[in-house]
Structure 1
């Protein structure tokens, strides 16, 4: 996809904006679009130049977009640009096993035909999603993008928050949204502390081509060192998210392509026939990081800046998009009532809507990782019995599917495919 990058505009000093977004990644770009479509003037500041984010090798990740996230991208007029590159997830199969032994006796099978809303989600590669979002930003008159630029200081004053850039100039807005990742500078400068820990694991990420069709089925194998996800992509390929202990992951990352595949094959199995690498390989350290507060004086944190979780359930980006949808709706409703969009009362509504859900997700993914990332025979038996029990209960399966698809709970309008 050759979508043009977002235009780079340098606004005059002390330009006034409703919302200033720190970070031009997927969450930042989505928030900018949602806010601008609701009538807010938006300034987005990103330290990376647009051409770096649209390079074909920028990021090897693919995303399992839940059904609700797809509806949100439809509402933002982005989905049409990437739908042809998106692979529907029709089934999910979960099993417990060891390298070279295949799955255990019990497992889980989620079939999209049990969900009234169609596919549980779609797999989309970063190299398609990111350029589509940047192209949408460039076409939106309510958004100003300034990059490369870096925020080095911020201060809240009555009615405004002011940020200082690395070149010494300042920008002013009513609200500062931190979409700047787990090491959020916005959050740190606002005095927000974080809770979290390192998992001692790393995710090895790549795409593979395979001999047999995947039929739209996503697989999750729980191995003693960590989960192995095999996620369907278009074109006879699958995305691999392969968790190993940190030292082992570093050793595997340094291997030749042939040796890398030799280690992967026993874990992967032969159900898709012969496999080969299809593109670059990446490795990411895994940790949990949860902001103790999602808001501060004229500040709101979004996405990984608020919560970084284990990828065991593939919910990281979906959780960030839920933040985006909730914050955009809270701010829009406040503006229509004539409230200060960054008042403590308004920001408290956003935090109340999102922090419990995000903390629950963090706890759940942490517990699943600890429960499954081991070879304890007692826990293995309990895991098998638990998965078998859920699989035997249609209502329990449907409930888990609706939760994963983002269709349960108090859902913001954008996630229902509606305009705010």
Structure 2
């Protein structure tokens, strides 16, 4: 008889990535525990960050029962506009990517982090006996042997499992326990994030100004409101965060070149340094890594949480198959399959984000000319533009089952059952 503290999988970390991972893995009738810090509604309510989620990520949220609750607070993304504000020798033309060009009604939605976390928590609370949420001050020790992994909480309780899923961020204790090394570097840049209201409608268009210090991006929110990610030199970003709201809005109006008209209702401003981190492996020693425990990229191109959700959907699919085949859920072979499945997507997007950032900040004339010529090509060549749009939304090939519509997903799962 299995002990009540014994699980098929334990997820450490209860941000959006950890919550979504717990719900996704529990879909396969696995006994799952989610280790979460005690819920603090006041702290959650102070979070004004948003995430631009592409359609596959929204399908995942729908399939794990969280999208309906957070959709009303979110805004559709119909188009993406690029504006060259670098002052380069070859000025690139304005380019607008329309979702309709690749057969989509929209690219995705801009989702407030507060609404997303609340929806995921609600789905976890209502999931049933297969998913247990354990509030704890944190994991203090992780031990791994040939057959099981054990996790000791700050409160002294020890849990055992076949697999630990680390969703505990860039300072992951799970990654440390697995012995997985990382490569990282920091940029001489910082991002300022906030929300604001404006007089001119955004029409569902996200606008990215390409500037010498880095991109400045406005992303639609419901009504006449937008979220902002403004990349600058760290000193400039901190100065912008410290000036009065009126002075900041006036400065932002100037930098937006009147695009959204008169600005008002500035939300809290948060500044965070830009960095890049990649893990040498996505899993080892009965520990799988998802989200920022495995990879960190600057907030450019809306890759962060979309990458994390693809980690989750891929891992959940591999675990679903392993359960049907009665395999060890924490085996070296399973973790290698997960690493192989995610390695290319994660690394290629990290390189693309790094290259785009470099092309904006480089003082080299040839680099500036190449970037300008590339944008001219995107403007002129619709097949190239469509290819870039499709690649930006998701890697080539079929998405994991949890990122497909319900009827397709269920057919995939059913076919597997009949062939085992």
- TM-score, normalised via structure 1 length: 0.92
2:25 to 31, 35, 38: 35
| Residue 348 (structure 1) aligns with | 336
8 Å CA contact 1:294, 1:306 repeated in 2: yes
Measure the CA separation in 2 of the matches of 1:144 and 1:233: 33
Where does the alignment leave 5 or more consecutive residues of structure 2 unmatched? 414-420
Alignment of 1:58-97 (within 5 A): 59-97=47-85
Residue 182 (str. 1) matches residue 149 (str. 2): no
Measure the CA separation in 2 of the matches of 1:377 and 1:237: 37
Measure the CA separation in 2 of the matches of 1:74 and 1:14: 30
8 Å CA contact 1:177, 1:302 repeated in 2: yes
| Residue 140 (structure 1) aligns with | 127
Alignment of 1:138-177 (within 5 A): 138-141=125-128, 142-177=130-165
Measure the CA separation in 1 of the matches of 2:203 and 2:299: 23
Measure the CA separation in 1 of the matches of 2:281 and 2:127: 31
- TM-score, normalised via structure 2 length: 0.92
Measure the CA separation in 2 of the matches of 1:340 and 1:378: 53
Residue 129 (str. 1) matches residue 116 (str. 2): yes
Where does the alignment leave 5 or more consecutive residues of structure 1 unmatched? 1-11
Secondary structure of 1:199's aligned partner: strand
1:44 to 24, 34, 37: 34
Q: RMSD of the TM alignment (CA)? A: 2.0
Secondary structure of 1:293's aligned partner: coil
Residue 111 (str. 1) matches residue 101 (str. 2): no
Measure the CA separation in 1 of the matches of 2:395 and 2:74: 20
Residue 332 (str. 1) matches residue 320 (str. 2): yes
User: Aligned pair in 2 of structure 1 residues 54, 64: CA closer, same or farther (>3 Å)?
Assistant: same
Measure the CA separation in 2 of the matches of 1:294 and 1:50: 28
8 Å CA contact 1:66, 1:404 repeated in 2: no
Measure the CA separation in 2 of the matches of 1:216 and 1:244: 25
8 Å CA contact 1:303, 1:317 repeated in 2: yes
Give, in angstroms, the shift of residue 152 of structure 1: 1.6
Residue 320 (str. 1) matches residue 286 (str. 2): no
Number of aligned residues: 405
Residue deviations 1:180-202 (CA, integer Å, cap 9, x gap): 01111110122111101011211
Measure the CA separation in 2 of the matches of 1:246 and 1:21: 34
Give, in angstroms, the shift of residue 95 of structure 1: 2.2
Measure the CA separation in 1 of the matches of 2:283 and 2:44: 33
Measure the CA separation in 2 of the matches of 1:77 and 1:16: 26
Secondary structure of 2:385's aligned partner: helix
User: Aligned pair in 2 of structure 1 residues 53, 368: CA closer, same or farther (>3 Å)?
Assistant: farther
Alignment of 1:4-403 (within 5 A): 15-46=5-36, 48-52=37-41, 55-57=44-46, 59-98=47-86, 104-141=91-128, 142-374=130-362, 376-403=364-391
